[in-house]
Structure 1
Amino acid sequence: MTAKPSDMFDRDAEWAALTRFAADTRSGATLGVVSGRRRQGKTFLLDALCRAQGGFFFEATEAADAESLRRIGALIGEYAGSPFPVRPADWHEVLDALLALGEQGPATVVIDEFPYLAKANPSLPSVIQAAFGPRREERLRSQTRLLLCGSAMSFMGGLLSGTAPLRGRAGLEMVVQTLDYRLAADFWGITDPHLAVLLYSVVGGTPAYRDGAAGGRAPESIADFDAWVVDNVLDRFSPLFREARYLLAEEPDIRDKALYHSVLAAVAEGNNTRGGIAGYLERKATDISHHLSVLEDTGLLVRAVDAFRPGRSVYRISEPLVVFHHAVMRPEWSRLERQGRAAQVWANSSRRFAGSVVGPRFEQIARDWALDYAAPDLFERPVADVGHGVVNDPERRTSHEVDIVVTGHDAAGQRVLLAIGEAKWQEPMGAGHLARLKRIRELLVRAGHPGAENAKLLCFGGHPFSEQLRQAGDSGEVVLVGLGDLYGR
């Protein structure tokens, strides 16, 4: 495997997959698709691959089809050592020229920002389908490894789905994800877990937000966090100020952007069911089905199915900066954009930030910990899924929301409950929280949920636990997971 560049943080699995794809010596050209939301480092990753492999890299721009043909033709001619620029008449000739680059051995070819080209020429996916025909002679004698890359998630996801022209043609499909909460802390150089949670709740795990938008500077301490947010996110001249809007603007399937922003605002304010979102917008639930599906396709919304009632689900915003924008910035947009009162807005937003932004993000961090970082021997079986759920309590005529529901499978493949848990960011956790979890477990046992009688109880706290709860943890009644545990400190 080609050595990963020393200045590339993490991305070991992605680099290994890309170098295997690029160095494949089998006969016949192959196609790969790389996608991911903007600013995740896709271009950096693929440019590094081309430099390491001596490959061809073309970054498309928003341009007329004829201009893009001229640009890529000139670059192909330069790459191939032609004394004159190549002037392709159409994309069929471009694809044949790219296939010819691999006639002497594996040749890495990257077309970045592919959606721009397809927008100018919607037939381009069909042209690539024809060029990569299974029995086409030009493909069979070539070892070109063509990678199409783009940030428009709904478009890129549709390239290989359903009846799309390229379905069945790709030998690699890669989604470059954001860094998880632990990697994000390491990337920003944050060692204080409390500060790490706060920062992750604002900018998430998008690498470019550090070097590009924040100038490489992370908040130095909790005391510096407020000033950092004001200067780097809420200031109207900051690159991050309009970033959440741009995430929607680049999606070709999103036309009525105002309505999509309203859907996200509804979720950010806690209206996370289909009916709740529709009620917030004063529309019928059927009227927003398409909008929810599009936001799921873009990766901005995630639909989480209730672990105990599969027919029910809630929606969560996956990108922290979008949650921050809709919970903190959008309600005060006029004051921020026109009056530049970032410090005043932030001073008045502390409660909203803690309750609507950090609290839900801390719950997700707890779920991620249970899935990815909990000790292998904590649960009786390997973890298959970590979600949320709602448990009815008929005797008390109420229902209990369960923040963390850990499930696995028994030897027969049946789904079994491994643990339930609660995560609290703002309030210290005590004996009352443990009593509530015990009551929920009792209800689940009565309802006959497999594994409920042995399910462990988990408490995730953003503050120190009470003495009584710590004693319960020492006796094995409950597993206590503090900020240091979440970050492996």
Structure 2
Amino acid sequence: MIRKPEYVFARDTEWAALSRFVESEALSTRLGVVSGRRRQGKTFLLNALVEAVGGFYFAASEDTETEGLRRFGEALAFHAGGGGRYQFDNWDQAIDRLYATVPDGIVVIDEFPYLTKASPVLPSLFQRALDPGGIARRSRTKTLLCGSAMSVMGGLLAGDAALRGRASLELVVSPMDYLTAARFWGCDSDHELAVLLHSVVGGTPAYRHEFIHSDAPSSLAEFDDWVVRTVLNPVVPLFREARYLLAEETEIRDPALYHAVLGAIATGHNTRGGIAGYLGRPSTHIGHPLTVLEDSRLIHREQDTFRPGKFTYRITEPLITFYESVMRRTWSFLERGLAGQAWEVSRSGFLSQVVGPHFEELCREFTIANSLDLFGELPGQVSPGVVPDPSDRRSIQVDVAAVAPGEAGARPRVIALGEAKWGKVMGLRHLERLRRAGELLAVKGYDTEGTSLLCYSGAGFDAELRAAAARDGRIVLVDLPRLYGRAAG
């Protein structure tokens, strides 16, 4: 494998995939597609790759077709070692010259969606170059097309798209997981701080240095001051980043509507009907915004474990949740430099509306990653679920429900039921809720004979619950040290 530079933090899986693509001797390995939301380090990673193996790198920008061709010609001429630039009248000529100039090695075209916006025919031209008889077939060059507009990049290889079936690599550079992010921010031994930080900035690496001048809280006691001087500070780039993330998606033409949808989800109105009610619109009118936000990977639709056809939505970028729940409500105060006062009135809402749901998501991630250790098997699904309780006409919200893969003719088997509480010490009453949920599911035909009961807490467990767990191996307690066990190790 190509040696990863020391300055590239983590990203071992992504680097290994790129290395295999570059080093492949197969003649069919010619095209790769690299995508991911902005600020995840795609450009940083691809630049490191080009520096390691050599090759041609071109970063597109929002240009007209003529300007794009001019910039491309200048970059290609520079790569060839000459002065001036190549003159191209169209992208046919540019692609022909590209593969003639780079007959071997790597070609990286970054922010490819900018080029396709001005020149929609580009994917078809690359298809022709890559097909038998095309100019790319006369070289050993490998091409990587990269972009941040997820809806555009996702469509390059989908359905009847021109490049479908041509790519040997389809790599999505995702945010770092919560364990890696804790190490990246230097708080892997301060677990409460790690959760709070991840609830704001998630696993996006650019937010650690470029956006806040490498300013990171050194302890939990400094977190509030850090929020005020960075995220809520109008002179710091991170302040408007959530707005830019939405504006940069090319398919979003009515930002106010999309912010309203995100605001609904961030404040707990996370079903289709709930979002529509929050917006005061018929549910049929929000289908398109939800689809665009899903395609952009800004929201994720989760199926209710126990109610087929029922879905909830969650925002995938923590900074957007923070913006919609905290910043958008106090925006006029923040712009006037009253960040301290705005945070003072918003902090309790941050803990309940942002950190609480985010902690539940971290618990689901932990369960998926550690399912073999916890249960000795891999679940078919780990997601939240709702169990109706007809005895008091209420429902039991199960934060973490793990169900075994379906088997023909067998009852669906529940591997685990879990409840997550961020700021509460958990006790036997929380355990009884899970037991009650298991009893109700058994009546509905689920197999709950060996179901584990999981309690996740950011504040710990009382003595009675700990004693119950010591007696019964099916009761599993996960506190913050266990949640961050791998990071701490």
Tell me if both proteins adopt one fold, taking TM over 0.5 as the criterion: yes
Query: Under a length normalisation based on structure 1, what TM-score does the superposition of the two structures give?
Result: 0.96
Q: Is the 8 A contact 1:381 1:409 kept in 2?
A: no
**Correspondence 1:7-406 to 2 at 5 A:** 7-27=7-27, 30-82=30-82, 85-103=85-103, 105=104, 107-133=105-131, 135-190=132-187, 191-337=189-335, 339-374=336-371, 376-406=372-402
Q: Is the 8 A contact 1:274 1:285 kept in 2?
A: yes
**Correspondence 1:470-489 to 2 at 5 A:** 470-476=466-472, 477-488=474-485, 489=488
**Kindly tell me: are residues 214 and 305 of structure 1, through their superposed partners in 2, closer, same or farther at Cα, counting changes over 3 Å?**
same
SS at match of 1:459: strand
Amino acid corresponding to residue 111 of structure 2 in structure 1: E
Structure 2 unaligned segments of length 5 or more: list them: none
Q: Is the 8 A contact 1:27 1:141 kept in 2?
A: no
Amino acid corresponding to residue 47 of structure 2 in structure 1: D
Distance across 2 between alignment mates of 1:365 and 1:49: 31
Q: Is the 8 A contact 2:426 2:462 kept in 1?
A: yes
Distance across 1 between alignment mates of 2:434 and 2:77: 67
Match of 2:459 in 1: 463
Distance across 1 between alignment mates of 2:140 and 2:325: 50
Q: CA offsets, 1:37-66, max 9 Å, x none?
A: 100000000011111111100011111211
Distance across 1 between alignment mates of 2:449 and 2:437: 11
SS at match of 1:418: strand
Match of 2:413 in 1: 416
Distance across 1 between alignment mates of 2:14 and 2:374: 29
SS at match of 1:26: coil
Q: Is the 8 A contact 2:21 2:29 kept in 1?
A: no
Amino acid corresponding to residue 271 of structure 1 in structure 2: H
Amino acid corresponding to residue 138 of structure 2 in structure 1: R
Amino acid corresponding to residue 388 of structure 1 in structure 2: P
Q: CA deviation at 1:464?
A: 1.9
Distance across 2 between alignment mates of 1:309 and 1:435: 22
Instruction: Output the aligned Cα RMSD.
Output: 1.6
Distance across 2 between alignment mates of 1:127 and 1:52: 28
Give aligned pairs, total: 483
Distance across 2 between alignment mates of 1:156 and 1:312: 29
**Kindly tell me: are residues 142 and 80 of structure 1, through their superposed partners in 2, closer, same or farther at Cα, counting changes over 3 Å?**
same
Distance across 1 between alignment mates of 2:263 and 2:475: 36
Q: CA deviation at 1:163?
A: 2.0
Distance across 2 between alignment mates of 1:296 and 1:482: 32
Instruction: Calculate percent identity across the aligned residue pairs.
Output: 52
Q: CA deviation at 1:373?
A: 3.3
Q: CA deviation at 1:384?
A: 3.0
**Kindly tell me: are residues 13 and 417 of structure 1, through their superposed partners in 2, closer, same or farther at Cα, counting changes over 3 Å?**
same
**Structure 1 stretch displaced more, 188-197 or 209-218:** 209-218
Q: CA deviation at 1:120?
A: 1.4
SS at match of 1:245: helix
**Kindly tell me: are residues 325 and 84 of structure 1, through their superposed partners in 2, closer, same or farther at Cα, counting changes over 3 Å?**
closer
Q: CA offsets, 1:127-174, max 9 Å, x none?
A: 2122222x1242322111111111111111111112222222211111
Distance across 1 between alignment mates of 2:420 and 2:376: 21
**Structure 1 stretch displaced more, 242-251 or 155-164:** 155-164
Query: Under a length normalisation based on structure 2, what TM-score does the superposition of the two structures give?
Result: 0.96
Q: Is the 8 A contact 1:26 1:143 kept in 2?
A: no
Q: Is the 8 A contact 1:460 1:480 kept in 2?
A: yes
**Structure 1 stretch displaced more, 50-59 or 415-424:** 415-424
Distance across 2 between alignment mates of 1:21 and 1:68: 27
Amino acid corresponding to residue 195 of structure 1 in structure 2: L
**Structure 1 stretch displaced more, 462-471 or 155-164:** 155-164
Distance across 2 between alignment mates of 1:159 and 1:137: 19
SS at match of 2:238: coil
SS at match of 1:390: strand
**Structure 1 stretch displaced more, 380-389 or 82-91:** 82-91
Distance across 1 between alignment mates of 2:295 and 2:289: 10
SS at match of 1:419: strand
Q: CA deviation at 1:444?
A: 1.2
Distance across 2 between alignment mates of 1:83 and 1:272: 57
Q: CA deviation at 1:377?
A: 3.3
**Structure 1 stretch displaced more, 254-263 or 437-446:** 437-446
Q: CA deviation at 1:411?
A: 7.4
Distance across 1 between alignment mates of 2:435 and 2:30: 55
Q: Is the 8 A contact 2:381 2:405 kept in 1?
A: no
SS at match of 1:149: strand
Distance across 2 between alignment mates of 1:384 and 1:255: 37
